[in-house]
């Protein structure tokens, strides 16, 4: 992981507890958004380590072998993510359940991803809570653990207990946690980083919580090079300008104009850092008449110029 200079007090320490048969997809959707949040935020906001109950390596369902950083008993932090997959019932053992109960004292929050909720529930760590699990196991989960409330949701945050339904939902959950800790602007930029260019529809999954906001963001993203006036954005999604303003303010805590600007500048940073396009061309692609106007807005948003951002990334490359 990239090492930035900031206080350990500002870092969320995460333990990722793996079991044989874990999902590579689920793991990637957990750690890649965190890695992106560190990179885009230019600071280490998240630090994670891989754990197993015994300290022995774990092998994924597709054969990826991970050597853990530590055994569960030696780890502590702000968040423990429990990540088994199919075959979870084989891990409902005294050793595992004792380990989880002990970890609940050393970690502030516990999260069950994919089938992880099953182990947390078996350890009595979800009693009286609302929780979800992989959709194929919802009925069995409810029958096995009547002391909790089972919800058919992508993820559930109930106090210091989190549950998530599967690999794709893990990405949504992590974006939600980034929003809560660092605000929607960073989470939106992380989300944009993983969106396929030209994807249809270009709709954020989490940062826009309501259908109206999702449609508005899609319209804005489809009209970056030639930004639309706000009345036309509202017209494209068939609502009043006032309704649009209220929806965006509720979901993003900013005005539609500010949101549009964030989307344009996020693209400007990606183009500056990942292409060799002249900055004048970057400006045009992001809806600015000239590079100087974009540079002023860019500096205000990221506290550096596009040229400095480009050089910064070049300096991080191996051998630089």
> 205 and 270: one domain?
yes
DSSP letter assigned to residue 197: T
**What average pLDDT does the chain have?**
90
Report yes or no on 124 lying in a domain: yes
Report whether pLDDT(5) > 60.
no
**Residues 6 or more apart whose Cβ sits within 8 Å of residue 41:** 182, 186
> What b/e sequence results for 101-138 when a residue is b if at least 16 CB atoms lie within 10 Å of its CB, and e otherwise?
eebbeebebbbbbbbbbbbbbbbebbeebbbbbbeebe
| Residue with tokens 């900055």, as numbered in its chain | 279
Confidence bin at 196 (pLDDT 50/70/90) = low
97 and 195 part of one domain: no
Query: Are residues 168 and 192 both part of a single domain?
Result: no
Tell me which residue range forms the domain holding 111.
Answer: 8-178
> Of the candidates 316, 309, 71, 25, which has an alpha carbon nearest to the alpha carbon of residue 194?
25
Same domain, 26 and 162: yes
* 92 and 171 belong to one structural domain: yes
Neighbours of 223 (CB within 10 A): 16
d(CA 134, CA 87): 13
Indicate whether 249 and 126 sit together in one domain. no
CA distance 304 to 93: 53
As a whole number of angstroms, the distance between CA 225 and CA 96 comes to 54
Assigned domain for 40 exists: yes
The pTM of this model reads 0.84
168 and 280 together in one domain: no
Q: Residue 220: inside a domain, yes or no?
A: yes
CB 240 within 8 A of CB 234: yes
Number of compact structural domains in the chain: 2
Residue 2 lies in a domain: no
What's the start-to-end Cα distance of the chain, in Å?
A: 17
121, 149, 178 - which closes a domain: 178
Residues 174 and 188 in one domain: no
Quick check: 199 pLDDT over 50? no
Q: Please, are residues 295 and 306 in contact by the beta-carbon 8 Å criterion?
A: yes
- Give the tens place of pLDDT for each residue, 28-86: 999 999 999 999 998 999 999 999 999 999 999 999 999 999 999 999 999 999 999 88
In the chain, DSSP assigns E strands to 12-18, 46-52, 58-59, 65-66, 70-71, 77-83, 107-112, 130-131, 149-150, 155-158, 161-164
Whether residues 28 and 143 fall in one domain: yes
Tell me: the pLDDT tens digits for 222-279?
999 999 999 999 999 999 999 999 999 998 999 999 999 999 999 999 999 989 999 9
Q: Which of 150, 178, 206 is the last residue of a domain?
A: 178
Same domain, residue pair 232 and 169? no
CATH of the domain at 199: 1.10.10.60
Tell me whether residue 37 is in a domain: yes
Contact criterion met (CB below 8 Å) for 95 and 53: yes
Q: For 109-137, what is each residue's pLDDT tens digit? A: 999 999 999 999 999 999 999 999 998 89
Confidence tier at 192 by pLDDT (50, 70, 90): confident
pLDDT value at 176 more than 90: yes
Residue 263 C-beta-side C-alpha neighbours within 13 Å:
28
pLDDT of residue 210: 85
Same domain as 229, residue 140: no
Q: What is the CATH number of the domain that holds 133?
A: 3.40.50.880
């Amino acid at each position: 992981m990239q090492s930035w200079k900031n206080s350990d007090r500002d870092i969320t320490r995460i333990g990722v507890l793996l079991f044989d048969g874990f999902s590579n997809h689920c793991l990637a959707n957990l750690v890649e958004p965190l890695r992106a949040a560190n990179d885009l935020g230019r600071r280490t906001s998240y630090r994670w380590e891989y754990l197993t109950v015994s300290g022995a390596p774990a092998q994924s369902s597709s054969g990826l072998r991970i050597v853990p950083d530590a055994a569960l008993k030696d780890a502590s932090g702000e968040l423990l993510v429990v990540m088994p997959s199919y075959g979870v019932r084989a891990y409902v053992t005294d050793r595992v359940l004792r380990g989880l109960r002990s970890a609940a004292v050393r970690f502030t929050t516990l999260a069950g991803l994919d089938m992880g909720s099953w182990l947390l529930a078996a350890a009595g760590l979800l009693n009286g809570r609302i929780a979800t699990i992989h959709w194929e196991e919802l009925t069995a989960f409810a029958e096995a653990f009547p002391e909790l409330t089972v919800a058919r949701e992508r993820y559930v945050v109930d106090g210091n207990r989190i549950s998530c339904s599967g690999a794709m939902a893990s990405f949504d959950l992590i974006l939600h946690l980034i929003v809560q800790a660092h605000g929607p602007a960073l989470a939106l930029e992380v989300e944009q980083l993983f969106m396929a260019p030209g994807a249809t529809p270009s709709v954020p999954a989490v940062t826009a919580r309501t259908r109206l906001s999702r449609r508005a963001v899609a319209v804005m993203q489809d009209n970056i090079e030639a930004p639309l006036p706000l009345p036309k954005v509202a017209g494209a999604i068939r609502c009043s300008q006032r309704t649009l303003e209220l929806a965006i303010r509720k979901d993003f805590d900013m005005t539609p104009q500010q949101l549009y600007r964030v989307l344009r500048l996020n693209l400007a940073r990606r183009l500056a850092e990942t292409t060799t396009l002249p900055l004048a061309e970057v400006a045009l692609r992001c809806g600015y008449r000239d590079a100087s106007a974009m540079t002023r807005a860019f500096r205000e948003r990221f506290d550096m110029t596009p040229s400095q951002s480009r050089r910064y990334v070049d300096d991080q490359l191996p051998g630089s």
